[in-house]
Amino acid sequence: MKKIIDYLKEAKHAVALTGAGVSTLSGIKDFRGPDGIYKMKDVDYNRMFDIETFYEDPSIYYRKAKDFIYGLDAKEPSIVHNTLAKLEKAGLLKAIITQNIDLLHQKAGSATVIEVHGSARIHYCLHCPGIRVPYEEVVPIVRRDEMPKCPKCGRVLKPAITFFGESLPAEAINEAIRQAQEADLMLVLGTSLTVYPAAGLPDYTLRNGGKIIIVNNQPTPLDRSAELKLEDLGASFAELEKELWPKGFC
């Protein structure tokens, strides 16, 4: 932990790249872990997040997402989310690039969050420009087993999550690449670095002479390139908190 703190304090532009592993500590299943949602036999999440399926029958997404996505308001940020927010507030972290769609970084207080896979923060109409409905308004509708509708045309709204078959949000990807290129230190947290293009972001940092630190409970393709590789995310950040703010964070 002292090494990580030294790296953070020496860095002029540190960023974090986070994956589903940081939210498992909040009780949200990851995707590819031993108990991940892709291992569940009763739910086909590939179909749930398939854009062609959504066009044909959006109820498949909303029915399956009722607890997974629209129960997120009951989840609380983990020690990782909270510590990253404190690091940003203390000036030790410039931005968080996240593959997650759960909004927990914002809930923890992080200001600069780049969502490369989108999020459910906004729902929009695929046919009417300018229609934007916030997550908070959609949650009670979905929890009643209904679907949010466009106030103009009455069609079902889509969450601003990037589904399979859709392009990633260009603005977010471009900003993530810019941050990765400028970073002299990247914390890679809770991601197996297997889903591109997000998985390629640490390479931008490495190619520009920056360092990466990986904390993940599974191997990643960049383990050998990391300055440090740790496995226990929760324990690591608990130690980091104690080392950085032994008397609490103000």
Known catalytic residues?
A: 117
Residue 190 in tokens: 């809770």
Q: Beta strands 113-115 and 228-230: pairing type?
A: unpaired
SS3 category, 134: strand
- Mark 72-98 as b/e (b = at least 16 C-beta within 10 Å): beeeebbbbbbbbbbbbeeebbbbbbb
SS3 category, 39: helix
Structural contact between residues 25 and 80, judged by C-beta atoms closer than 8 angstroms: yes
Structural contact between residues 14 and 92, judged by C-beta atoms closer than 8 angstroms: yes
Classify residue 130 as left (phi > 0), alpha (psi -120 to 50) or beta: left
